[in-house]
Structure 1
């Protein structure tokens, strides 16, 4: 036979899930008709559940890529595109101290979103400036070494210890050479670049 659900299914669950009366359930169970009744309905319900899950996953993927697009636009300074995303997806700012009704009554939605994106762009810009300052500080320290360098400062010039390996020396030179290459700098960059090369050649000879 094809089988039977009569021994494994709860009658109340059947009644709730398939909207059938307890009398009909008992009748089908006595006549061994539960399997033929439930099999097609089970398949239909399972297919419906799969379809719903597929839709949920699809919507989540769309939201995920929309968010990535928003971040890309923000980092690239495309404020208009990022602002459009906020208009479509954000209703109320997350950082207000009064009630949303009071807040929204004083400022229009456009003003709120414009303010938010302006703060985010400013934060991104300040973060980039901090990185640039850190690089410039390092660069200034190297310039001081370059200005004072002599025959005995090759290790210090390249920022390595006296026991540095050949690989460490080459790696340090490569990093500094990119920073002080004449094509990327003006002023005394030719002289500095030459000193870096001389220091490397002395230490690797």
Structure 2
């Protein structure tokens, strides 16, 4: 693993481990062995422990006395509760951006939608997933409320686990997700609050049911 000088070491370790959890390389219920990770990455055990505290805040691990860090579960109830909060906040962010965007605020979204469209046409699920995560991250930057923004960024890794598993189930979910993001951006551009208030929770409910039904897939 190569580290970037402009990011803290603990953040980079957290991102490395977080990606392994999101993609299922480290399964729910597995114990994260600090000594093994420290040796693998050639870092101190203290740095790994600090990274695990970051992952605990992001809901990817649970830390227990004498047991250490355990990768958090992704049961049907976990998914249902995540989606209920995630799309509630997502709706507010989309509405806020639609009412307040100016000048070049949307330029980054246009670029990402171009990327998403290309990945969608090529059927490149992995690339589509990464561009989709970047789309969400950019959207969160326009939350207009630092508490909402921080909560969404803390929820993002757990949301990524669900998104990754859903997109792997087949092209129909790639189609569905691309259509949602495209329609979302068009409603934001049009400053169409009514459409956003209707479409975001509707999609969230449908996506939640899909993710709950595929909860077992999230453990693979």
Q: So what's the TM-score if we normalise by structure 2?
A: 0.22
Greater fraction of residues in strand: 2
Higher relative contact order (CA 8 A, sep 6+): 2
Q: So what's the TM-score if we normalise by structure 1?
A: 0.23
Q: Which has the larger radius of gyration?
A: 1
